[in-house]
Amino acid sequence: MPTLLISGANRGIGLELARQFSAGGWTVIGTARDVAAATELAALPNTTAMQLEATDGDSIAALVKQLDGQPIDVLIANAGIAVNLAAKPAEVTREDFLHVVRTNTFAPLALAGALKANILASERKIALAMSSLMSSIEANNWATQYTYRASKTGLNAVWTALTQEWKPLGITCGLIRPGMVATQMTDFKGIAVETSVAGLKKVVEGLTPADAGRIIGYDGTDVPW
Ligand SMILES: NC(=O)c1ccc[n+]([C@@H]2O[C@H](COP(=O)([O-])OP(=O)(O)OC[C@H]3O[C@@H](n4cnc5c(N)ncnc54)[C@H](OP(=O)(O)O)[C@@H]3O)[C@@H](O)[C@H]2O)c1
pLDDT tens digit at each of 225 positions of the chain: 999 999 999 999 999 999 999 999 999 999 999 999 999 999 999 999 999 999 999 999 999 999 999 999 999 999 999 999 999 999 999 999 999 999 999 999 999 999 999 999 999 999 999 999 999 999 998 889 999 999 999 999 999 999 999 999 999 999 999 999 999 999 999 999 999 999 999 999 999 999 998 999 999 999 888
Q: Cα–Cα distance between 111 and 52 in angstroms, integer?
A: 10
Closest residue by Cα to atom 37, ligand 1, is 8
Predicted pLDDT of residue 143: 87
Predicted pLDDT of residue 70: 98
Considering Cα of 65, then 66, then 70, then 76, what sign does the dihedral take? Answer: negative
The residue count for the chain = 225
Predicted pLDDT of residue 39: 98
Residue 65 vs residues 12, 68, 114: alpha-carbon distances, Å = 27, 5, 10
C-beta of 180 in contact with ligand 1 (< 6 A): yes
Torsion-angle region of 168 (φ positive above 0: left; ψ -120 to 50: alpha; else: beta): alpha
Each as own residue / partner, the long-range contacts of residues 158-161 (CB below 8 Å, 24 or more positions apart, any chain) are 158/105, 158/108, 158/109, 159/108, 159/109, 159/129, 159/131, 160/213
- Predicted TM-score of the model (pTM): 0.98
Closest residue by Cα to atom 20, ligand 1, is 185
What letters, b where the CB count within 10 A reaches 16 and e where it falls short, cover 3-29?
bbbbbbbbbbbbbbbbbbbbeeebbbb
Amino acid present at 111: L
Domain extents in the chain: 3-217
C-beta of 115 in contact with ligand 1 (< 6 A): no
Predicted pLDDT of residue 142: 87
CATH among 1.10.3720.10, 3.40.50.720, 3.40.50.620, 3.30.70.120 for 3-217: 3.40.50.720
E strand map for the chain: 3-6, 27-32, 47-51, 74-77, 126-130, 172-177, 215-217
Predicted pLDDT of residue 22: 98
Q: Are strands 74-77 and 126-130 parallel, antiparallel or unpaired?
A: parallel
Predicted pLDDT of residue 225: 85
For residue 134, which atom of ligand 1 is closest to its CA? Answer: 6
Tell which one of 52, 59, 81, 99 to mutate to probe ligand 1, the residue whose CB is within 8 A of the most ligand atoms: 81
> Which residues have C-beta within 8 Å of that of residue 39, sequence separation ≥ 6?
none
C-beta of 99 in contact with ligand 1 (< 6 A): no
Predicted pLDDT of residue 117: 98
Of 193, 82, 57, give the one whose Cα is nearest residue 146.
82
